[in-house]
Amino acid sequence: MKKKVLYRSVIQVEVLSEEPIPEGMELNDILYECSEGAYSCRTKDLVENKEVVGKRAVKLMAEHGSDLEFFQMDSRGYNTSDCEEED
């Protein structure tokens, strides 16, 4: 069984606004305000498409509060989506 490979990207969003951003405002709404509304923003790639596998991928999924089945992986980071034949 092969280990599942995930790709990690971290993007920083800096926003300038004349009023405080409302507490609990969703990121999609903030980005809409940046492109169509009254906010100004810029983004910066902090981590771009870094491969994570095995236990590290499992740990990141837990930090996201996501179920391992979302990416078809087990608790050790192995692919569970199919029984791929290895060459």
pLDDT of residue 83: 57
Tell me the two tokens of residue 21.
Answer: 């951003």
pLDDT of residue 45: 96
Asked whether 6 and 56 are in contact (CB, 8 A), the reply is no
Q: What residue spans define the domains of the chain? A: 5-71
Q: Identity (one letter) of the amino acid at 70?
A: F
Measured in residues, the chain has a length of 87
Give the pLDDT confidence of 27-46 residue by residue, as tens digits.
999 999 999 999 999 999 99
pLDDT of residue 87: 43
**pLDDT tens over the chain, length 87 residues:** 899 999 999 999 999 999 999 999 999 999 999 999 999 999 999 999 999 999 999 999 999 999 999 999 999 999 998 655 444
| 5: exposed, middle or buried (Cβ count in 10 Å: 0-12, 13-18, 19+) | middle
